[in-house]
Structure 1
């Protein structure tokens, strides 16, 4: 047994060494005091003293609450608090019902693995998140990818799928996590209606950032901001990004919630979120309703950043993004890493996204703009990029 174990660990070490040799080895980095142009804390809620205090006060009001859920929701983990929070979430996101999951990854895995069945067709945008890809892989449905945001390619695949028996499902993100661009949701719902397909939208990077107000305040997501909530079967909202807490929810028709309770394995077989997490979710949603200024500030800074890029870095290759996720393509792992390291050396938390996480030639800096950034910090970032990009090829 010892010999077998040593053989396996040596194999693992060899694989890691090869990854390191190629410059691809991932390592954990503790957050420091650098200026944040990296995190998904778009509204600054994760660092909000006001939200933190509200959560602490809400914790104190919990009577006879356990520190943990002690089991799955179908066993010992079901509480009146969970039901109350889900009803509040359904109202907030303008849906019939909501079901809380432990994370957005769990929600996407559970939804896509159990909803499309054998004999159904699942059509997914080629750039959906890894969690949606993994969920799709667990489904017994026939799956086809369509080119990113390409309505003609999707139409062709919908036409083919409509010739088959079974349901058709289309899965997209509203705001894509790597490029920051948006799905053409109005056209997508029209196409899905035309071909009798059900649309699934991951709102992870739109939650909190877009909503029913003119500058995204309320934060119900891009679907609600466009008034499309009644034409989308399922929306996934995650709370660990703009809302600064943890967990996720799938919102949609009441029958979808009942179905997921019975068939979504990450829900059935996972210990439920503890009471603390549930009250944190509640407080974050209350806070966003009371704090429209964060959304205003975020969108104001985003406009400032985009204008600076157009004026000072016009020849560089930026993704077509109007969201807080701004991506500068710097082809080549070595080039992208070098530019990021230079920014880090100057006190800015900027990260490179390297292949194979993105395709070779699509390496980039993934920059996130936040409500707590300042115009001075943005000016510093632009200046550092101007200098650094002059030393490293972006062609």
Structure 2
């Protein structure tokens, strides 16, 4: 036991020395420029009203699901919700998972096999990387959004080929060139899988996502959508055809061996979709994105992003952390993203914009950023 404790202590000390030690923070009274609640659904009074109205239709609901979906935890409500989600996103079927992490672990640990090839963008999410590590397929990484690099990897791929990208990248906020990637996927008979976590609710008609907006639903083999960001609830779903849904039910360990989310969680997801489909929530957010970018000083290293995720590069853990603390002292909840979460030398401030941020709040944030970052 002493050797294990020594290992823990030494690793924590190393993180502390590198200014990369993580810790939990309680909810603050700062103005939110940190959360993924892009549309403001998580604290929306309107969404709460919809949820409460829907809840009255089910007076005999249970607090817990009682087990995994394959045992006691399934319900007609969950299956109907899955079909409603699929219809909304123009997909044949969907399968609910308890989180985006579970969904990515589930599909990427089960689908590719030994002898197959997975080709991922170098900036792909950690949950996808973890899922890929659980299978025996060969993995290649192509340079971020670089089609020449992707094609080079496709030319040496063997077996069944999977291309995996995000439509909006969580650490840079930029878009993948999905039309070009889809074209290459067709050329090399590859299955294209797109994580739409940070696009769902934000892009496309009523927030149906970038795949839908570009008319690529039939060219994308599977999509991963999450509900804990713009939809303000919790959970995720894999969109695809009926055979993929059945395959995951039979072979996805993160689906099979976990207790299903509760009825209340599923009802919250349904309510969020009802609210999403009520009106245009997207225009107000994109107006705020434009306002932010127009008011940031041109000398600041602001990455090119038209999403709710705005990135200011501040290389060095100490530099990024100190800048974030100064911004927080000015009243704004902005967090630093440090290495090893991002590559060393690309440390940054990650600023998330929301519908619940007023234009005045955004203007004041920009004034503070322009003064602090020089």
**TM-score normalised to the size of structure 1?**
0.93
User: What aligned pairs does 1:10-49 form with structure 2 within 5 A after superposition?
Assistant: 10-49=6-45
Deviates more, 1:170-179 or 1:7-16: 7-16
Which residue of 192, 212, 222 maps to 2:210? 222
Deviates more, 1:16-25 or 1:35-44: 16-25
Residue 79 of structure 2 corresponds to which residue in structure 1? 83
Residue 201 of structure 2 corresponds to which residue in structure 1? 208
Residue 54 of structure 1 corresponds to which residue in structure 2? 50
User: What aligned pairs does 1:363-382 form with structure 2 within 5 A after superposition?
Assistant: 363-382=347-366
Measured against aligned partners, the alpha-carbon deviations of 1:199-229 in whole angstroms (never above 9, x if no partner) come to 00000000000122xxxxx111110011101
Which residue of 272, 286, 295 maps to 1:299? 286
1:241 aligned to 2:241? Answer: no
1:340 aligned to 2:324? Answer: yes
1:308 aligned to 2:308? Answer: no
Residue 354 of structure 1 corresponds to which residue in structure 2? 338
Q: Secondary structure at the match of 2:207?
A: coil
Note the C-alpha offset of 1:9: 2.5
Question: Hey, what's the Cα distance between the residues in 2 that align with 1:285 and 1:34?
Answer: 28
Residue 215 of structure 1 corresponds to which residue in structure 2? none
User: What aligned pairs does 1:96-245 form with structure 2 within 5 A after superposition?
Assistant: 96-161=92-157, 164=158, 166-212=159-205, 218-245=206-233
Q: Secondary structure at the match of 1:118?
A: coil
Question: Hey, what's the Cα distance between the residues in 2 that align with 1:341 and 1:172?
Answer: 33
**TM-score normalised to the size of structure 2?**
0.98
Question: Hey, what's the Cα distance between the residues in 2 that align with 1:63 and 1:387?
Answer: 55
Q: Secondary structure at the match of 2:149?
A: helix
Measured against aligned partners, the alpha-carbon deviations of 1:47-99 in whole angstroms (never above 9, x if no partner) come to 10111122123223224322111110001101111111001011011000000
Note the C-alpha offset of 1:254: 0.9
Residue 65 of structure 1 corresponds to which residue in structure 2? 61
Q: Secondary structure at the match of 2:355?
A: coil
Note the C-alpha offset of 1:289: 0.7
Q: Is the 8 A contact 2:18 2:317 kept in 1?
A: no
1:94 aligned to 2:90? Answer: yes
Q: Secondary structure at the match of 1:201?
A: strand
Q: Secondary structure at the match of 2:194?
A: strand
Measured against aligned partners, the alpha-carbon deviations of 1:353-392 in whole angstroms (never above 9, x if no partner) come to 01111111101000011111122111211111121113xx
Note the C-alpha offset of 1:33: 1.6
Cα RMSD, aligned residues only: 1.1
Structure 2, unaligned stretches of length 5 or more? none
Measured against aligned partners, the alpha-carbon deviations of 1:248-277 in whole angstroms (never above 9, x if no partner) come to 000111111011000111000010010001
User: What aligned pairs does 1:256-267 form with structure 2 within 5 A after superposition?
Assistant: 256-267=244-255
Question: Hey, what's the Cα distance between the residues in 2 that align with 1:38 and 1:250?
Answer: 26
Note the C-alpha offset of 1:159: 1.1
Q: Secondary structure at the match of 2:120?
A: strand
Q: Is the 8 A contact 2:197 2:224 kept in 1?
A: yes
Runs of 4+ in 1 over 4 A off after TM superposition: none
Question: Hey, what's the Cα distance between the residues in 2 that align with 1:7 and 1:147?
Answer: 40
Residue 393 of structure 1 corresponds to which residue in structure 2? none
Residue 320 of structure 1 corresponds to which residue in structure 2? 304
Note the C-alpha offset of 1:10: 3.6
1:289 aligned to 2:277? Answer: yes
Which residue of 262, 273, 285 maps to 2:261? 273
Question: Hey, what's the Cα distance between the residues in 1 that align with 2:306 and 2:53?
Answer: 37
Note the C-alpha offset of 1:316: 1.8
